[in-house]
Amino acid sequence: MSADLVLVTGGTGVVGRAIVERLVADGRAVRALARSERSVAALRPSGATAVPGDVLDVASLRRAMEGVGTVFHAAGANATCLRDPTPLYHTNVEGSVNVIRAAADASVGCVVYTSSAATIGEAEGTVGREDSPHRGSHLSHYERSKHLAERRVLDLADELRLRVVSVNPSSVQGPGRTSGSARLLLDAVNGRLPALVDTTISLVDIDDCTRGHLLAEQRGAAGERYLLSGASLTTREAVALLRRVWGRPERVRWVPRRAAVVVGALVEAAAFLIRRDLPLCREAVRTLLHGHRYDGSRAERELGLRYTPLEETLRRTLAWYAERGLAPPPRRAAP
C-alpha cells in the first residue's frame, strides 16, 4: 500500500473532478473509477489514471483499490422528482456500502466519504450542525438515501475498524458547475427564472469543498462528520447580491409559499400522467420551503478550513459562465 496512491470515485462529477484535479496538482498518484469509455475520455485531461469499475460491482472496487492508501468516495446520485427513486438508493446506499467493504478488504488507510449537509435533518427554522437532532422525517428521497447511506457507512466502518471521515457539503457552487442548483443561478442572470420563493439557502465554494476533503484526510477524526458551509442567506438577499455583483436579474416575481405547494402538486400529477420525470414536484417544493441554514464552523476549528467570501465566489462563477456564453456580461461595472 502506498500512502500517495489515491482512488477517487465519482471523478467526473462536480466534486469528484475538483478533488482529482487538486490531488494531481499536489503531485499525488491518482486513480479514478470509470464506469464507461465516456468517463475514461472525460478523465484523460485530468492526469489521473482511469480504472474500470462501478460502485455497484464489489469485485471491480477491490481491483481498483489494490495498493491504495486513501479513497475519496465522491460518487453518488443527486436527483429529485423521480417517479422511480430505486436507482437513487442503489447508488447512494448500496454503492457506498460496497466501497467501505472493498476498502476494508484492501486494507485502505482512510476513506473520505462525500456525504451531504442534507443528512443533518435539522428542524425547520433551526441552524443545522453536526450534532443537531434529526427531525425524524425526510424532505425527499435524495435526503433519505444520503441519510441512510451515511448511517450505514459510519456503522460499518466502526464494525470493520476502518478509518472513515464524512464530509457534508451544503450546496456546492463555483466555476464548472452548470447543473442542479446552479441552474437557478444561470436562469436568474439570464432572465429565465419565472418566479422565486422566499427561503434560506446555504452554499460552499467548490474550491473550499475540495480543500475540506483533503483536510479531512489529513486531520479529520475517524467516524466524525464535518459540515462544509461558507455562507447562508435568504433568496431575497441572494437576489440583492446578484444585482450588486452582476447587475442582474432586473426583475423577480415572488410566489407565495402556499401557491408553490399547489404548483408542485399539479406538476407532479402531470408527470405521472405523461410518464416523465419533471423538474418540479411536491418533494422539491417541500425541500425549498424548508430551507437550510448550516453552521460550517467545525471544519474551520478542527480542520483548518478557511471559507471564500460569497461575493468572490459569485464573481468568479459568473465570469466563468460569461466567458463560455452561458450568461450575459455584467449589466454595470461592479463596485
Q: Which of 156, 118, 114 is nearest to 137 (CA)?
A: 118
Q: Residue 133 burial by CB count (10 A; 0-12/13-18/19+): exposed, middle or buried?
A: exposed
Q: What's the per-residue H, E or C state across 315-327? A: HHHHHHHHHCCCC
Q: Is the predicted pLDDT of residue 278 greater than 90, yes or no?
A: no
Which parts of the chain fold into alpha helices (H)?
Answer: 14-25, 37-43, 58-64, 86-89, 95-105, 141-160, 182-189, 206-219, 235-246, 257-274, 282-290, 297-298, 310-323
Q: Is the predicted pLDDT of residue 70 greater than 60, yes or no?
A: yes
Confidence at residue 332, expressed as pLDDT on a 0 to 100 scale: 65
- Is residue 55 helix, strand or coil? coil
Confidence at residue 155, expressed as pLDDT on a 0 to 100 scale: 98
The one-letter amino acid code at 309 reads: P
Please report, for residues 72, 155, 208, the alpha-carbon distance to residue 41 in angstroms, rounded to integers and kept in the order given: 20, 36, 27
Q: Is the predicted pLDDT of residue 2 greater than 60, yes or no?
A: no
Round to whole Å and give the CA distance between 287 and 178: 20
> Where are the chain's structural domains?
2-170+205-228+294-307
State the sign of the Cα–Cα–Cα–Cα dihedral 20, 75, 317, 39.
positive
Mean pLDDT calculated for residue range 258-264: 67
Residue with cell 429529485: 80
Could you read off the pLDDT of 87-131 as tens digits, one per residue?
999 999 999 999 999 999 999 999 999 999 999 999 999 999 999
**Residue 39 and residue 46 in contact, taking contact as beta carbons nearer than 8 Å:** no
Round to whole Å and give the CA distance between 212 and 72: 12
Round to whole Å and give the CA distance between 200 and 66: 44
**Residue 304 and residue 219 in contact, taking contact as beta carbons nearer than 8 Å:** yes
Residue 247, number of CB atoms within 10 A of its CB: 16
- Domain 2-170+205-228+294-307, classified CATH 3.40.50.720, yes or no: yes
Backbone angles phi, psi at 50, to 5 degrees: -75, 130
Could you read off the pLDDT of 41-53 as tens digits, one per residue?
999 999 999 999 9
Confidence at residue 281, expressed as pLDDT on a 0 to 100 scale: 81
Round to whole Å and give the CA distance between 96 and 31: 18
Strands 200-205 and 231-234: antiparallel
Q: Is the predicted pLDDT of residue 333 greater than 50, yes or no?
A: no
Residues 6+ apart with CB under 8 A from 133: 123
